[in-house]
Amino acid sequence: MANSNHIKNDLFLRALKGETVQRPPVWMMRQAGRYLPEFMAIKEEYDFFTRCQTPELASEITVQPIRRFGMDAAILFSDILVVPQAMNIEVQMKSNFGPYLPNPIRNQKDLDSVIIPDVNQELGYVMEAIKMTKEKLNNEIPLIGFAGSPWTILCYCVQGQGSKTFDKAKELCFTNPVVAHALLQKITDTTIAYLKAKVAAGVDAVQIFDSWGGMLSPTDYETFSWQYIQQIIDALKDNIPVIAFGKGCWFALHTMARSGASALGVDWTCSARNARYLSGGNITLQGNFDPARLLSPPAEIKKMVHQMINEFGKDKYIVNLGHGILPNIPLENAKAFVDAVKEYKSAF
């Protein structure tokens, strides 16, 4: 169990427990990233996976936004694709293109080369980055660890790159479900071991990102995504709070709410009212500001954030974006978002 009871600002952890708070906590998905000039300076010197694999760099990048804006939680700088890398699947990060996997998994023969690694050996650099980050944070705020959902990882492993439709990933699932499920299970087993190692290294909560869950119909979502996320939640929920975030997965909020997760992420296409209704009204929700809305003037951002908090309610709620922050967001706008939450006074 992480030593969360010593954390000075434990607002985020209290919201995950559903406790009554003065104001909701705030952090932003992808907060350690491309909108920060200090991040861009490191990016110019080191390529993507070097940044992920060098604990000094990963921990520095993790705390950059905290120094600048004082969010209520830090999220470890890393990438969901370090997991397939550790499973013996080559992943490159091409500039102006994104992830590229030269040898996608399309059949049983491809699958045979995929391993369930010793996570402490293959991903030891992540655990080192966690320990360094915890030192830098000095128990001021909690640290979040994360992983991609098995379905989202499968999407990249089978497609070989990003996609608007992930048609090849779906094709594998629907024409060769045996291979698809075997790959999903290998990813699931690896992810459980990986997140358990992160907990042992000191993270205070974990988030599962199902970025491409919304690509699936509700029935296929249950079959190819949710049942694997549920395995991960079951393996971790007794030791650490788990946040499940499925982009475009409003249709699964009812199922997700009964999963044992501590909180559910919501994207900006689902209103606060619908999210509360669909999730049964008892679980902590996180979200759901449209990341592009951070391009609005700061005064307007503040107004919209206060309105958003009033709609979700200040308790059982974590203020966040509905997806990752965009690279072209002005710093003062990011600051307005965080400040709006800190200045929040309940209207009731």
Going by the annotation, the residues of the binding site for substrate are: 30-34, 49, 79, 156, 211, 323
Q: How many CA atoms lie within 13 A of 316 on its CB side?
A: 19
The DSSP bridge partners found for residue 209 are 148, 245
Q: How many CB atoms lie within 10 A of CB 318?
A: 23
Residue bearing tokens 């102006």: 96
The answer to whether 162 touches 156, Cβ cutoff 8 Å, is yes
Radius of gyration of the chain from its Cα atoms, rounded to whole angstroms: 19
How is the beta sheet containing 263-266 ordered, strand by strand? 74-75, 143-148, 205-210, 242-246, 263-266, 284-289, 317-321
CB 86 within 8 A of CB 117: yes
Question: Which residues belong to the annotated binding site?
Answer: 30-34, 49, 79, 156, 211, 323
- DSSP class per residue in 283-322: SEEEEEE-GGGGGS-HHHHHHHHHHHHHHH-SSSEEEEES
The whole-angstrom separation of Cα 144 and Cα 206 is 5
Please report the DSSP string for 116-150 in residue order: ---HHHHTHHHHHHHHHHHHHHTTSS-EEEEEE-H
CA distance 193 to 118: 8
For residues 307 and 275, is the Cβ–Cβ distance under 8 A? no
